[in-house]
Amino acid sequence: MSVVIFLLLRLAPGNIVDILFSTGGYVSDADKKLIMQELGLDKPVWAQYVEWIRNMATGDLGKSYRYDVPAWQVIKPLIPVTIELAVLSTIVAVLIGVPTGVISAVRQDTVFDYALRIFSLAGLSMPSFWLGMVIILALAAWLGWVPPMTYVGVREDFKIHAVQFLLPALAVGYRSSALITRITRSAMLEVLREDYVRTAWAKGQSEGAVVWRHALTNALLPVVTVIGIEFAFLIGGLVVTETVFNLPGVARFLVQAILWRDYPIVQTLVMFIAIVVVLSNLFVDLLYGWLDPRVRYSG
């Protein structure tokens, strides 16, 4: 994993020194060499890689070329913003996706079903950053009010903070809900034909109890899997959404770091994202055992 990320970045044409000084006017070749040496960019690629891995093992993630401070120090304050946004988006996605999926399955092949499926497919088709822009525009047009586009901490003003996060979460969550809807629908369609559901009907239980308690709890397993998978897509979606809403998160910073060719930052961020994805998959696996007692991991 680390090799791939590292090599991809070093293959890039252009380097930080050129970019740093392209705004600062002419810099002599001798000065350039000096700076390259200082940053360790004059060494062969494999030597740079070995050094990076060795440093990472000791907890040193390298220095940001641009800010001249340890990469971790730059990234650390950004993480809570992205995590908060990702969690909120997931909640929105589940809140939209699961009910639409269930209703779609219960009312299979009715106009209702078709409308909900088109609704969810439309979410999958709209770029979340565009949806975010449209939400902002709509607020401006109808309410004559736009949330401030500079980040407000949760302690400074809770209301503004909440709006700032809910809007992008809505844009990203709607998109993510599409897959959840689809999986919920197909899982529900299967479960609704099971014997125990018929038993529940025969017992004379209300439709709500049958659908939401007996059927949904049993249809949840594939849904949870897809929520885990969605998490990876979600972070991809955040890259652009954080930019639109000007939120100082990891994803927006990644774009800036890429544009700056700030290798230590990009490497650290991409590794961070990869680790989060792996962890979320692991979490889903563990959740299986809790949701479905039949799943046991001991050999």
Contact positions vs other proteins (CB under 8 A): 1, 4-5, 8-9, 11-14, 114, 117-118, 121-122, 124-127, 129-131, 133-134, 136-137, 140-141, 146, 182, 185-186, 232-237, 239-240, 243-244, 254-255, 258-259, 261, 266, 270, 273-274, 277-278
Q: How far is the CB of 281 from other proteins (least distance, A)?
A: 9
Chain centroid offset of residue 198 CA: 39
How far from 249 is each of 29, 82, 244, CA to CA, in Å? Answer: 36, 5, 12
Q: Which is nearer to other proteins, 95 or 118 (CB)?
A: 118
Rounded (10°) CA dihedral 96, 98, 103, 104: 90
Q: How far is the CB of 30 from other proteins (least distance, A)?
A: 27
Q: How far is the CB of 11 from other proteins (least distance, A)?
A: 5
Q: Which is nearer to other proteins, 185 or 200 (CB)?
A: 185
Do residues 181 and 97 touch, judged by C-beta distance below 8 A?
yes
How far from 232 is each of 181, 200, 211, 239, 295, CA to CA, in Å? Answer: 17, 37, 30, 12, 24
Q: Which is nearer to other proteins, 39 or 131 (CB)?
A: 131
Q: How far is the CB of 238 from other proteins (least distance, A)?
A: 9
Q: How far is the CB of 50 from other proteins (least distance, A)?
A: 19
Q: Which is nearer to other proteins, 5 or 210 (CB)?
A: 5
Q: How far is residue 170's CA from residue 91's CA, in Å, rounded to a whole number?
A: 9
Q: How far is residue 100's CA from residue 184's CA, in Å, rounded to a whole number?
A: 8
Q: Which is nearer to other proteins, 124 or 287 (CB)?
A: 124
Do residues 132 and 243 touch, judged by C-beta distance below 8 A?
no
